[in-house]
Amino acid sequence: MTAAEIRDSFLSFFRDKGHTTVPSASLMPTSPNLLFTNAGMNQFVPYFLGTQKAPYDPPRAADTQKCIRAGGKHNDLEDVGLDTYHHTFFEMLGNWSFGDYFKKDAINWAWELVVETWGFPPNRLYATVYAPGDGDPAEFDQEAYDHWKALFLKAGLDPEIHIVNGNVKDNFWMMGDTGPCGPCSELHVDLTPEGDTNGALVNKDDARCIEIWNLVFIQFNAEPDGSYRDLPAKHVDTGMGFERACAIIQGTKNFTDFSTLPSNYDTDVFTPLFQKLEQLSGQKYTRTLPSPSIEHRASSIEHRASSIEHPESSIQKDIAFRVIADHIRTLSFSIADGILPGNTDRNYVLRRILRRAVRYGRNLGLGTDGTNFLPQLVPVLVEEMAAAFPELKQHQDRITETLDTEESAFNKTLDRGIKLFNAAAEKVSGAFEPETAFELYDTYGFPTDLTALMAAERGLTLDLAAVESHMEQQRERARAAHTSETVTALDFDTDVTTTFTGYDTDSSPTTIHDILDRDGNTYAIIDTSPFYVEMGGQVGDIGSLTVGDESFNVTNVSSVGAATILQLSAMPSAWTGQPREATVALDTSRRRDIEKHHTATHILHWALHEIVSPDATQQGSYVGPDRLRFDFSSKALTKEQLQAVEKLANEKIKANDPVSWSEQPYDSVKGNENIMQFFGDKYGDTVRVVQIGGAEGSLDGWSMELCAGTHVRQTGDIEQIVIKKEEAIAAGIRRIEAVCGSHAQAYLDEAKAGLEKEIHQLANKLTALNAQLSAADAPTQRAPDAPDPGDTSSALTAYRDALKKLTVDADKSLKKIQTANLAQQADAQIDALIANAAGDPPVIIEALENADGNLLGEFINALKKKQFKGVAILAAAEEASGKVHLGIAVHPDLTSQFKAGDLMQKLAPIVGGRGGGKPDFARGAGSDPTQIDALLEAARNSF
């Protein structure tokens, strides 16, 4: 069977047993404690915990789960390539029962699939069951033993030989120190030539007898007191290594030839990638392994490398084949799931994996000519696996572009680092100097793990602890040189819990529980506070604290435990050491500006998804009173894309949609594709969803994010957003800086002044040049040896080209300025219009003076921003063109009585025009300004 047939056979088998085939979960884990999804059960944890009901009927499922084990508790990265079965990326086949069937069916079906469907020889199979030692939880798993016993007896085999007891380490599974747990039962396969070891190699970490399937029976709950109680519902959680199953079936030629040990890499899971690598490198994969590879697998990089004759050996080349083939799978699947190489957490692990692949590519001669090889492997992987994992095809361009960018960037570092390493390595024997390894990293950016690998290949050791010591000393020097006003590492503890009121109020009464003097600074511990403590990119608040007759500036806020700590400008003279009532208040102007920039960040994120790609995901942010910074994964944006993002964001701001937030159980929103959430963050049981648009708490907004920050109440409060610049900050990571509200207007005013100055300077230069040209063209008598006045035509062309470009840029900037000025003009007059509105509901019927269609549009926007709960009919005659512009706005609550579109169709013909729109908004135009009074009179008669 091919790998695809084995995968399909597994899923079809359990589909016939009533299981729902479930797609693989993303490699981006839902658990904040994981770097990557590393087991099949990750996506089903809520069903096991009972916090959610399994949505399948019957409640059983089967899947193949993408997994990565590279970093954290489960890390196979350093073993990849050195044996036949370790991988950073692998598939885990599994069948699941959520309170449905239990041990009997799970065991019988495992036997039926493996023996009767796939044809595994029963005499080579060994089952393990849980047998506790002293002090271990639960009892001997007699039930599982009895089921296995019946199957082995039916096959004519001795259960005493083919059922092996396992201890708590091998055969008892726990989700954590407390929580669901239970015994497990594994299937092991004897791969020795004769298959006659009688179970002696089971659980001995021997490649000649390997586990292929683990059946976990979740039946207990581990209590905090160390006891184990029965769960009300019992579950089955199984996992079969897909690559191992393929290796055994294909490597033994359907169980007919056990003369050589099967290898995961000798299957059609990997051979297409090897064939492409052979084509690219001109090398051949010869299946050699470092020695020893079976009886004892060395654990240290130095020991393993000592068995390699030299970097040019066939063994080293074969290791490179296996590493690259493994790593391209990890990289491609991760990037498809939105995990990109970067500098922190899982993103850095991915970057390390990519750099290891590039480094091993050099052993095959790849990348030395400036041609990137990783992107060339992607089509092969897509061709082989997209049928099972369509996300590979869907995101193929992103995968290719990301790999190409990262490989190019690292090749420059690699070339320089290898040259420096080789020069240093020639001068030493036995050990590579930690100081040099640190210098390679600190000065030249060369990864220390690659230095260790290259040293090992030369038979040199490297004291990694000494390298880390140098790094820590460098960090200490950096910390000592860094000054900040942020309060950190305060040397006191407190059990005060502060209630945050800053979402709804700007000031509040509070109790001061303590005031402390530390290093000349004064800190107050309070129990109620509107001050936001810096978190998630949003800066902290400042303000004031009033106690008695004294008032103090709050210059910074921090936290210790659950308490908010205020840094005060001075020590209150009335402080006696006893709790005192006080009042705290925000710097409201600063807070409003922060809220504008934070909500604008959400809108910007949404607009990037709409204009650029849903893959343009947040990688970091800064939200302050004067600006915002937003980092996101993407290739460079075109000028047109950037303009479209800004335009769309401002349209949403002008729409004046409501901004609301609600507390939601995390389990009910995690994994919701419509709610942006960042799984690297550690969310509690309850999360705060900030939504723009829709009804509060209904989770139907057009933008929704998990966010603890503070926000405006209506998008119109932001006024406007201006993108100042967009630039690269790392491979595949872009940064936008923008300003909102008055800061945006100040930026535009400054830009306008600078532009006008530049135009004035250029005009002066052109005037001078024209004078020079006139003088050159005038008939003059010149002596035969007098110098030529020079060819000024090229200079004039350059000036004209510069003026043309400047004019284009000026038009763009002036349009921004004009729009902002129109908005300010409308805002300045709108209150008077609303105050003069008459009737119930209130109606505004006005002809705007000195207005055009753009200004009329800003008046409509201003009415929305003010949430005018009436009907407005506005007309504006444009003197220059004689055109009449019309706008009608009806509050949504009134559209059952008055429809803007119907009113427009009735009124526009009066001024020789037409128009239309929705029930709440309509625009129109006419050609006869002399009839505006008649139009206004007809409008008044409509109410």
Predicted confidence (pLDDT) per residue in 211-261, tens digit: 999 999 999 888 888 888 888 889 999 999 999 999 999 999 999 999 999
Helix runs in 172-270, H state only: 242-251
Nearest to 115 by CA among 152, 85, 63: 152
Q: What is the pLDDT of residue 519?
A: 76
Tokens 């020889």 locate to 121
d(CA 546, CA 563): 19
Q: Predicted confidence band at 802 (pLDDT cuts at 50, 70, 90)?
A: low
The pair of structure tokens assigned to 447 is 């990864």
Phi (first) and psi of residue 236, to 5 degrees: -120, 135
Q: What is the pLDDT of residue 484?
A: 35
What is the rounded average pLDDT of the residues 758-762? 75
Region of poorest pLDDT, from 310-314, 656-660, 662-666, 846-850: 310-314
d(CA 325, CA 269): 10
How far from each other are the two terminal CA atoms of the chain, in whole angstroms?
A: 79
Nearest to 732 by CA among 447, 351, 396: 351
Higher-confidence residue of 728 and 693: namely 693
**CB 532, CB 710: distance < 8 Å:** yes
Q: What is the pLDDT of residue 134?
A: 82
Question: What's the pLDDT tens digit per position in 74-90?
Answer: 567 878 988 888 899 99
Q: Predicted confidence band at 780 (pLDDT cuts at 50, 70, 90)?
A: very low
Q: What is the pLDDT of residue 151?
A: 97
What secondary structure letter does DSSP report for 26?
P
Q: What is the pLDDT of residue 864?
A: 86
**CB 106, CB 183: distance < 8 Å:** no
Q: What is the pLDDT of residue 475?
A: 66
C-alpha pair distances (Å), 85 with each of 67, 244, 252, 329, 519: 15, 7, 15, 15, 58
Percentage of residues in the chain with pLDDT exceeding 90?
56
Tokens 């096991």 locate to 48
Tokens 């799984």 locate to 679
Tokens 């669901």 locate to 180
d(CA 581, CA 559): 20
d(CA 513, CA 562): 13
On average, the pLDDT of the chain sits at 86
Residues 6+ apart with CB under 8 A from 804: none
d(CA 145, CA 540): 61
Sheet of 703-706: strands edge to edge?
A: 659-665, 686-692, 703-706
Higher-confidence residue of 640 and 226: namely 640
d(CA 289, CA 304): 11
Q: What is the pLDDT of residue 482?
A: 37
Tokens 């060369």 locate to 446
DSSP 537-592: TBPPP-EEEEETTEEEEEEEEEEETTEEEEEESS--TT--SS-EEEEEEE-HHHHH
**CB 98, CB 48: distance < 8 Å:** yes
d(CA 883, CA 906): 18
Chain centroid to Cα 586, Å, comes to 32
Chain centroid to Cα 580, Å, comes to 45
d(CA 6, CA 118): 9
Tokens 């692949």 locate to 357
Q: What is the pTM of this model?
A: 0.59
Which of left, alpha, beta for 548 (phi over 0: left; psi -120 to 50: alpha)?
A: left
Q: Predicted confidence band at 679 (pLDDT cuts at 50, 70, 90)?
A: very low
Percentage of residues in the chain with pLDDT exceeding 70?
87
